[in-house]
Structure 1
Amino acid sequence: MSYSIDDLKVLMARLRDPQTGCPWDTRQTYRSIVPHTLEEAHEVADAIEREDYSNLKDELGDLLFQVIFYAQIGAEEGRFSFDAVVDNLVRKLVRRHPHVFPEGTLESRIDPDNRPSEAWIRESWERIKAEERARKNAEGSVALPGRLDDIARALPGMVRAEKLQKRASRYGFDWPNVDPVFDKLHEEIDELKEAWQAAESGQGDHDAVEDELGDLLFVCVNLARFMKVNPEQAIGRTNHKFEARFRAIEQVLQRQGRSFEDESLETLDEIWQSVKGVEKKR
């Protein structure tokens, strides 16, 4: 026997039943589930990063459960159902892919010998999304809709910075090439150093340091964008590399019967450099 999405919907309704359901599930709200949703999304990304495809199926199921959970709460409040979520999604994707569904229906097909270019597809995608934003703003009676309005504030900082920059770039607000971004990087480093020195001497405050550090990180995201590097993935790789090297230091000291805490920074750095040397030879 194999369970279906309909079975999952029944299960969710049972869990949320105020009389016979699970006490933990019944007291959850949209807001209380958000941390779990973010955690599950990161676990999906982690499984993919580690190429742990046997575990990916479980992680995707956990992420799907989050969607079912929100939809069940929506149905209980008379706002929307899971079926409405699916219907809205399919309609939106059909609308955004006229190069696949030329007549705007799921049944329509495009001539494989007359497919548009990727440039046309990207332009069409952005135009349709812009039209959707304008329509939402009109429905919400927003007098002066902003071009950055729909970029979620809850996104991780680097992810949101990249989205803000990409959106602004579409309207011509961008550097002409990567060279001035490097110049800006050096400028922000100098300004951060000045703010830090002022704060340390008592002539400035740490709010200014945080502000300048934010500027520096924002420029780093800009640099990544011009180099076509995903900043979140880049920092993820560096985190993994640091963790692996740190663990290698621990293992070296453990094999030699030495304690990490008893070693000098110079000694630890020597081992760090030797670990890096082994990596380069691989």
Structure 2
Amino acid sequence: MSTSLTPGATSPSGPDSTTAETIRAVPVRHPGRWVGVAVMLVLAAMLVNAMFTNPRFNWPVVGEYLFSDVVLRGLQNTLILTALAMGIAIVIGLLLAVMRLSPNPVLSSAAATYIWFFRGTPVVTQLVFWYFLASLFPVLGIGIPFGPTFVQASTNVLITQFTACLLGLGLNEAAYMAEIVRAGINSVDDGQTEAAGALGMTRAQALRRIVLPQAMRVIIPPTGNETISMLKTTALVVVIGYFELQTAVQSIYSRNFQSIPLLIVAALWYLVLTSVLSVGQSYLERYYGRGSSRPDGETGLRARLFAAGRTRGDAQ
């Protein structure tokens, strides 16, 4: 029986001597990865070929309307609607989350009922409901409950298309934001609140100064996702005729019948805006992730990509 020795090693001189054997490491083969890469490259080549050889895409029309005044006005309204609806959702969602965590059963039950109702009905249904609220309440007023009304006005005057959009989108999103904020608050250890109480802080002060700043690292990522989702959800207001990006391109292709090129225009703008929001979200995650146990840069889009690359390299 022959034994292979490491270069420079001496022969064993006795029965108890150990022999250093040469170990040749063979990397693990991953044929499935290469097959997947080949399939993806073929599909990507087919897609690019179809986009630039199929004349029905009509790219000149896309370029003509990409920066047209009508499309840019719709884009502006989309951004305004997204910002205001998310502002309403964050404020109401924070209030609902605090009510949901309240030891008072009435407040907790009221918040839970709100969340149950608005998460359980479609956004389109809520938009149409607010737009046609005048059929249920022709006049809205302010006064003493079950008593005289001091100020009143027509519901059709108060609930315009824009107001109906804000109510439908903002109140619906508030239900989701309430659960996001509640999860963030619950992620903070109870000892933080107890320590704040021992220092003489009220429950509201502890929430504002101690709990919420620590909960932000949990709240920010899903809030960014909800903002991106809200940007795209604004396209649903087309059902009540409010002028935004989707309505703008629809008004154009209803006249020139170039539906596909105009839909591409809308898709390109949505992709640009969601990409910008994604970058902003990654910076916010890094900002609120300071001081955590993770190394600097572990949060955020760029850091996650680097981490994925390191993981793949280690696996190989």
Query: Normalization by structure 2: what TM-score?
Result: 0.23
| Greater length-normalized contact order (CA 8 Å, ≥ 6 residues apart) | 2
Query: Normalization by structure 1: what TM-score?
Result: 0.26
